[in-house]
Amino acid sequence: MKLILTCLSFLCLQVLFAQSGCTDIQATNFSSNAIQNDGSCIYTPSTANFLLKGDLPSSISESSGIAYFNGDILTHNDSGNNAELFIIDSSNGNLKQTIIIDNYSNTDWEDICTDADYIYVGDFGNNEGSRQDLKILKIKRSDIGSESTIHVDAKAIHFSYADQTSYISSNTTNFDCEAFFSMGNYLYLFTKDSGDGKTRVYKISTTPSTYILSYYTEYAINGLITGAAYNAATNEVALIGYELDKYSSFIWILSDFEQDDFFTGNKRKFTASNFHYWQTEGIAYDTINNKIFISSETTIFLHASLFVLDHTESLATAIQPAYTISSHNIFPNPATEHIRITNSEPITEIEIFDTMGRIIYKESVSTNDYELQLNHFDYTDGVYCIRIHGNNYQWQQSLILKHE
């Protein structure tokens, strides 16, 4: 009997140990014996192309956050701009409505999200860690009428960080926040830590009051988080950001986590492949059409723009990201005499911008394979942006030009 019990105990231990591990077949360390995901999955480096839907209107030069709103995109500008929200067409970025908040100013609006009844605007930008008036504005969705310009009032959710003891300005603060989303009766804030490259998660009630927040989890993102979104249909979180010098924009996809402990599950990073210097700021799920929208601020290369990723399959489980708008190539890069541009779909226009955003070359074409001689225009040695247009797509990337 003792031997039988010992054997049964051993088998129980085997089952117990087999329960935890990486359960995602797409991961490099997938365990066929694992029953319960322990968050240990490791993935090969992955990239994704962002399809440009259109430049945003000139009144939205600093789209700092976006939310999917009744089939359209809800966005706003960054600090120093008017207290206005904008509803833009999700198909092309055109302005449809302007919403003016009458009773609060735009100190440093950094992100926006919604739930079934309200819109939330995060006035919690804190780049130098010196602010003591952090708040989230709460606006009734029912106040948004059909007029082209709408005036509304907001209520405020005030808060501070329990772990912040100093408000001396610093460019390496860990108390800046530019990303949040709504889930249940709470808002979840993800910090943009310039000091250590992590992000910390704070949880706050949606009921207007004054709160002192303590973070309950953190993760070494190795970059700066500038936007967050939650997909209730798939229980998935998307975080947008970029590396410390604003190069290499990325998306982190979090899935299969426990309740609201978002970093206990799968954590997969996708780096933008089609451009290397842009200030990606906003991200939102369109769960109906399986898409992820992304916005960027104006930079020396790009206007504030709206991008989209097809999300037919989960980014977190795709073997190869299926988000390229076409198969394209530009070579050589760096270039000294010519560049060759190839694309699986016809190219209709080519533009090259300098670091001031000025067009130094523009030409209409109709081909899948085009060779541009660099002696056709004047340029100095340096970094440029090349933008390629087609009948139903646009894409761009950095380009280094040199003289022999």
The pLDDT tens digits for 83-130 are 999 999 998 889 999 999 999 999 999 999 999 999 999 999 999 999
pLDDT at residue number 7: 40
Ordered strands of the 305-310 beta sheet: 51-55, 305-310, 291-297, 279-286
At 168, which helix (H) or strand (E)? Answer: none
Share of the chain above pLDDT 70, in %: 86
Residue 88 lies in a domain: yes
Residues 306 and 333 in one domain: no
Residue 15 lies in a domain: no
Residues 216 and 362 in one domain: no
The last residue of one of the domains, among 310, 337, 355, is 310
Per-residue pLDDT of 269-328, as tens digits, reads: 888 765 555 788 999 999 888 889 999 886 655 667 787 776 544 443 333 333 333 457
Residues 275 and 339 in one domain: no
Tally of structural domains, the chain: 2
Q: What is the mean pLDDT of the chain?
A: 85
pLDDT at residue number 302: 62
Q: Bigger pLDDT: 357 or 227?
A: 227
Strand pairing category for 199-205 and 36-37 = unpaired
Least confident of 256-270, 296-310, 343-357, 362-376: 296-310
Residues 230 and 276 in one domain: yes
pLDDT at residue number 80: 87
Question: How far, in Å, CA of 280 to CA of 269, rounded?
Answer: 15
The last residue of one of the domains, among 282, 310, 338, is 310
Q: What is the dihedral of CA 169, 61, 110, 256, to 10 degrees?
A: -130
Residue 320 lies in a domain: no
Residues 236 and 379 in one domain: no
pLDDT at residue number 318: 37
Residues 362 and 284 in one domain: no
Residues 184 and 290 in one domain: yes
Handedness of CA 165, 178, 241, 251 (dihedral sign): positive
Residues 223 and 340 in one domain: no
Residue 255 lies in a domain: yes
Residue type, 55: D
Question: How far, in Å, CA of 225 to CA of 110, rounded?
Answer: 11
pLDDT at residue number 184: 94
CATH number at residue 355: 2.60.40.3080
Residues 271 and 376 in one domain: no
Strand pairing category for 20-21 and 36-37 = parallel
Domain that holds residue 356: 328-401
Share of the chain above pLDDT 90, in %: 53
CATH number at residue 201: 2.120.10.30
Residue 11 lies in a domain: no
Question: How far, in Å, CA of 224 to CA of 219, rounded?
Answer: 12
Residues 56 and 197 in one domain: yes
Question: How far, in Å, CA of 137 to CA of 157, rounded?
Answer: 6
Residues 270 and 373 in one domain: no
Residue 1 lies in a domain: no
Per-residue pLDDT of 175-227, as tens digits, reads: 999 999 999 999 999 999 998 989 999 999 999 999 999 999 999 998 999 99
Model pTM?
Answer: 0.76
Least confident of 70-79, 82-91, 222-231, 237-246: 237-246
Residue 377 lies in a domain: yes
265: exposed, middle or buried (C-beta count within 10 Å: 0-12, 13-18, 19+)?
buried
Residues 147 and 59 in one domain: yes
Per-residue pLDDT of 19-50, as tens digits, reads: 788 888 778 888 877 778 999 998 877 777 77
User: Over 70: is that where the pLDDT of 375 sits?
Assistant: yes
Residue 399 pairs in a beta bridge with: 384
The last residue of one of the domains, among 310, 344, 371, is 310
pLDDT at residue number 231: 93
